[in-house]
Amino acid sequence: MEERGIAQFDFVYVIGDAYVDHPSFGHAIISRLLEAHGYTVGIISQPDWRDKKSIELYGEPRLAFLVTGGNMDSMVNHYSVSKRLREKDAFTPGGVMGKRPDYATVVYGNLIRQSYKKTPILIGGVEASLRRLGHYDYWSNKVRRSILLDSGADILMYGMGERSILALAEALDSKIAAEDITFVEGTVYKTRKKEDIYDAVFLPDFETIRQDKESYAKSFYTQYCNTDPFSGKRLAEEYPNQVYVVQNPPSKPLTRQELDDVYQLPYQRTYHPSYEPLGGVEAISEVKFSLTSNRGCFGGCSFCALTFHQGRIVQSRSQESLIREAEILTKEKDFKGYIHDVGGPTANFRFPACEKQLQKGVCPKKQCLFPEPCKHLRADHRDYLSLLRKLRSLPGVKKVFIRSGIRFDYLLADSDRTFLKELCEHHVSGQLKVAPEHISDNVLQYMGKPKASVYHQFVREYQAMNQKLGKKQYLVPYLMSSHPGSTLQEAVELAEFLRELGYMPQQVQDFYPTPSTISTCMYYTGLDPRTMKPVYVAHNPHEKAMQRALIQYRDPKNYNLVKEALQKTGRQDLIGYDKNCLIRPRKWAEASKGQEGGNRAARGGKEGRKPGTEKNVLGQRREVKGKRKTIRNVHKRKTNR
């Protein structure tokens, strides 16, 4: 500050992540954008929330405090779907856990209020965006208030905040009081003056949605249908004591030039050098040699919060902008010749789904790809192909990968298979990861994903193309267990699919009820908000464990869970020695637990054992706590297996 002649910052930005000055991090974009428009910004990264002096480092900012929980919701960052604390935090120096609090945005906002009673506080980022109105919180298992109220902030920015932060900065710089800034798109404010809320849809009040799940589902779907910047309405939610939380319509999407300008700001493209002795920040490794080519997604997956955050209208950068950034990457000293990704939420989306979206917005209650591709869908990969070809030809570039995922249904909707050919020929390294998520059409309907037949068609075409090119490359499907609508029967159906595929996933994602998704609404209410019809939800942890185990039925430690699931569903026909069976019968199943039990069962009992093999099979015996315990020593042998 002294070197730059800054006596007082315009904004002090409190962030839950380590400070990484890279455009994949929201705090980097917002701070660089403000700086480019003449404002000064001081960043306080991961302050000690137990000490209010930690946010007093720069004193009071001239205009406002900015607060974000980080690139992830702090609760998702901290806890697995089973609510167990994660072992490391990729957004913290050295991966250390515990450098940010639970519900970080709320805690930081209240911490600031202890020292600065009147200074405006503006909150934003994923955590604030997805909790902007009353919402179900999985970790506390209750409906929580708008994060705007709980944090003590004055204004909340939701979605991609470039337009809203500049409008707010200009208003504050013009001496407009924070409580009077009620007109900025992409923001949420609070008021006691109902008469000042104009042209708004009033949602059920908070007490009603807190107590009645049907009202919650209806309220959520109203919000979901008003996320479009062209057709979205202003929404208002009443709280006790006549407090209203008002959500203004979303910000308009950035033009291609505006998006290019954002990505051409002078980022340092790495973490702050003070983190080097601590081991650096792991999260940068995922994005350092990747290119963000688009934002927004019209895929419409029910379990994804992108509709609520980035919206459904795809915005993309120009090829020239992306090539300039790629040339910068090739000059990095640790660049090995590989661009890890060229994409975004969905890699092969480069423009809005249809022509009308930039004038009239998206269809509120219809999806572009689900259940079938819309007849107005513009499925065209030519621009993306052209971009990839130019990137491949850059000096120093050996390979360009696509890691952020492609929509195979969108690929198939394009009648030209040139993209599939070049994808297999140039952009896959042995394995292509895709996300069918499930194989049951009933579950896929709830997920907002295409029918299983679409995935099967893609598999056939992918295999045929690789065969034509003389390549041995495989598909790695991402699968999800326990999504609303999935019973044990559907989980068994998925296991049978994997049996036919001859593949057992090493990783399985249990459905995670994160804030503000259709799937989370179904999980909490037991209703599909699109139809208000009941939907089956697996809440019992044991049933969820069985659904997960069925996907990894070959793992010996899952034997008992798989057997129980097959018995409960009346599918004992899948227990046996036939090639179509999932598991074999074993006599020690009841006694075996965990992985040791799985190893025992692979051999069976003493009956029928050949003379002279007992020593090899059972190994040695020893006394444990006064009782005989059999320790089976399983050797890798080419014979007697």
Identity of the amino acid at 49: W
- Identify the residue with better confidence: 188 or 622: 188
DSSP string, 33-51: HHHHTT--EEEEES--TT-
From start to end of 454-557, where are the E strands? 474-481, 509-510, 527-528, 533-534
CATH topology of domain 11-189: Rossmann fold (3.40.50)
Tell me how far apart the alpha carbons of residues 258 and 359 are, in angstroms, rounded to a whole number. Answer: 18
How many degrees, rounded to 5, is the angle at CA 491 between CA 440 and CA 464?
50
- Summarised one tens digit per residue, pLDDT across range 342-372 is 999 999 999 999 989 988 999 988 999 999 9
Six-digit token pair at 90? 């990729």
- Summarised one tens digit per residue, pLDDT across range 113-162 is 999 999 999 999 999 999 999 999 999 999 999 999 999 999 999 999 99
Residue 599 confidence (pLDDT) above 50:
no
CB 557 within 8 A of CB 599: no
Residue range(s) in the chain whose domain bears CATH number 3.40.50.280: 11-189
CB 324 within 8 A of CB 342: no
* Residue 581 phi, psi dihedral angles, 5° rounding: -80, 150
Tokens 């089976």 -> residue: 632
Residue 595 confidence (pLDDT) above 70:
no
Helix or strand run (H / E) with residue 77: helix 74-78
- Summarised one tens digit per residue, pLDDT across range 81-97 is 999 999 999 999 999 99
Tell me how far apart the alpha carbons of residues 28 and 43 are, in angstroms, rounded to a whole number. Answer: 10
CB 546 within 8 A of CB 487: no
Signed CA dihedral, 319, 321, 325, 330: sign only: positive
CA-based R_g, the chain, Å: 27
Environment class of residue 88 by beta-carbon count within 10 Å: exposed (0-12), middle (13-18) or buried (19+)? Answer: exposed
In this prediction, residue 637 carries a pLDDT of: 36
Q: What share of the chain is helix, strand, coil (3-state, %, to 5)?
A: 35, 15, 50
In this prediction, residue 614 carries a pLDDT of: 35
Residue 618 confidence (pLDDT) above 70:
no
Residue range(s) in the chain whose domain bears CATH number 3.30.750.210: 289-429
Six-digit token pair at 509? 């994602």
The span from the first CA to the last CA of the chain, in angstroms, equals 72
- Summarised one tens digit per residue, pLDDT across range 304-355 is 998 889 999 999 999 999 999 999 999 999 999 999 999 999 999 999 999 8
Signed CA dihedral, 57, 62, 64, 69: sign only: negative
CATH topology of domain 289-429: Transcription Regulator spoIIAA (3.30.750)
197 three-state secondary structure = coil
**Number of Cβ atoms within 10 Å of the Cβ of 533:** 9
Tokens 């969820």 -> residue: 544
Contacts of 410 (CB under 8 A, 6+ apart): 346, 348, 349, 369, 373, 379
5-33 mean pLDDT:
97
| Confidence band of 502 (pLDDT split at 50, 70, 90) | confident
Residue 623 confidence (pLDDT) above 60:
no
Identity of the amino acid at 83: K
